[in-house]
A = this chain, B = another copy of it.
């Protein structure tokens, strides 16, 4: 099944909306589980959309932008995964793997955009100097919309303009490459977590990392909630029964390590 112009336009519009949300992290409809489901609805196959969305969401739950990091892009992952699963004869699992390179590509585009937006700080500073309050607000709205447009274009190109090229590439993709992408998708969160660790890790927090790891390894659960409850319990125990800290310096110390990201 190939994508019609109307569908491509709707997909791109949706990419615009979720791209804006991805930029500002406001309503979280930029998460793959939502993105893919809507894509599925547009393409007339909400069930496969939801399935790919669920799989991608799980794979991307560890790839957070915390500390200003830029992870493989969740919008594009959700978009392309659902497109592959709903239009080709590709299984949802394989679709998740295939979407990965696209999502990494978009990640780099975002990094470039964050760099480009740096140049916007000159006019911004001038507005501050001029006490142009309305302008200060407006510049942030424009920034959001422009990001959305980037997603619109990306989506239109990938799902319509070069869809045949992509389709042909996929038909010829060997098994080991397919498998390789899936493996890469599975191992990628390691980097995300390592980046978190550079922010959060101190020797004295090692025990909690270990406890969380052991709990998740040996308990048989469906979501991370029990581990979070364990963490919560230890945190509360330490808060109520632990040694009181002197406080102030701790704040600074932690503050600084966080700024550096």
Q: Which A residues have a C-beta under 8 Å from some C-beta of B?
A: 203-204, 206-208, 210-211, 214, 217-221, 226, 229-230, 232-234, 236-238, 240-244
Q: A229, B210: Cβ atoms under 8 Å?
A: yes
Please name the 10 residue pairs, one residue from A and one from B, whose CB atoms are nearest each other, closest first.
A207-B233, A204-B240, A207-B236, A207-B237, A210-B233, A218-B219, A241-B242, A210-B229, A211-B233, A214-B226
17 contacts between A and B (CB under 8 A): A204-B241, A206-B233, A207-B233, A207-B234, A210-B230, A210-B233, A211-B230, A211-B233, A214-B226, A214-B229, A214-B230, A218-B220, A218-B221, A218-B226, A234-B237, A238-B241, A243-B243
Find chain B residues with CB under 8 A from A203 CB.
236, 240
Specify the chain B residue showing the minimal Cβ separation from A209: B233
What's the Cα separation between A234 and B233 when bound, in Å? Answer: 12
The docked-state distance in angstroms from the alpha carbon of A250 to that of B229 is: 27
CA distance A241 to B245 in the complex (A): 9
CB distance from A244 to the nearest CB of B (A): 7
With the chains together, A221 CA to B211 CA distance in Å?
15
Which chain B residue shows the least CB distance to A225?
B214
How many angstroms between the C-alpha atoms of A233 and B220 in the bound complex? Answer: 21
Complex: A244 Cα to B230 Cα, angstroms: 24
Q: A219-B218, A221-B218 are in contact. Are A232 and B207 (CB under 8 A)?
A: yes
- Residues in B with CB closer than 8 Å to A237 are 207, 234
Closest to A234 in B: B207
Complex interface: chain B residues within 8 A of A230 (CB): 210-211, 214
Q: Report the minimum CB–CB distance from A56 to chain B (whole Å).
A: 28
Q: A232–B218 contact, CB under 8 A?
A: no
User: CB-nearest residue of chain B relative to A245?
Assistant: B241
Across-interface contacts of A238 in B (CB, < 8 A): 241
Give the residue of B220, B232, B243 whose beta carbon is less than 8 angstroms from that of A241: B243
Residue of B at shortest CB range from A213?
A: B229
Bound complex: CA of A244 vs CA of B243, how far in Å?
8
Residues of B within 8 A of A217 (CB): 226
